[in-house]
Amino acid sequence: MTSDDPRGTMPGSSLPSDPSLPDDLVVVGRVSGAYGVKGLVRVAPFNAPEESVLCTVREWWLAQGASAVRAVRAESARVHSDALLCRIRGIDDRDQAEALKGAEISVRRSDFPAGDEDEVYWTDLIGCRVLTPEGIDLGRVTSVDEYGADPVLRLDDGDGQSRLIPFVPAWIVSVDTAARTIVADWQPDY
C-alpha cells in the first residue's frame, strides 16, 4: 500500500472551489522554504520523499492562504534528506522561493503513477464505506492517519462517532476503490 496525501480530500484544504481548476486535485505537499540562492524551493511532501509523486509529476498547482491557485511547472525535483529540492519555472532567486513558503502543492490524481495490484493511494480510501465480512456498516473513511507503526483508518459512523481501524493486512480483508468499499475483520463493538 502506498501513501501520498492522506489529507488530500479532507475538508480544510486551502484549495478554493473553482470550476476552472481540475476536479481531481490532491494536496501532496507544502513548500517549507527556500534552499540556496538560485531559486530552489524546499518541499515537505506528505509521504516519504523518495515515494512522492512530486518526483515525477511536473504540473503542479500552488495555493497560499486565500489567494488564487496557480498552475506552475516543476522543472526538477530531487530527494534531499527528509524533503525535496525543487526548481519551479520562473522562480529564479531566493526571495521568490522564500515567498512561496507555506504554499500547498497539489497535483491531479490522474497524474499519479499506477501502483502495483496490491497497492492503493491513501487519498483513494477517503470516502470509502467500511463493512465487516458479514456486511455490517462500520462507517465511512474520513482520513488515513499515521501514528508511527501503521496507518489507521478514521471512520465516521454517521452518528458523529469516530472509529479507528489499523490499516494492516491482519484487519483489512479487501479494498475495492472502484466500488468505494473496504472489508475489515472488525466488529462494531471493538
* CATH number of the domain residue 69 falls in: 2.40.30.60
- Of the ranges 2-6, 71-75, 118-122, 171-175, which one carries the lowest mean pLDDT score? 2-6
| Contacts for 74 with CB less than 8 Å, ≥ 6 apart | 54, 57, 58, 59, 60, 86, 87, 88, 89
Within-domain flag for 42: yes
What is the SS3 assignment for 167?
coil
35/90 same-domain check: yes
Within-domain flag for 14: no
The confidence band for 16, taking pLDDT boundaries of 50, 70 and 90, is low
157/83 same-domain check: no
Q: What is the pTM of this model?
A: 0.78
Q: Is the pLDDT of residue 7 over 50?
A: no
Compute the distance between CA of residue 114 and CA of residue 82 in angstroms, rounded to an integer: 24
34/64 same-domain check: yes
100/133 same-domain check: no
Average pLDDT, integer, range 98-121: 92
Compute the distance between CA of residue 63 and CA of residue 12 in angstroms, rounded to an integer: 13
Q: Is the pLDDT of residue 5 over 50?
A: no
Within-domain flag for 51: yes
104/155 same-domain check: no
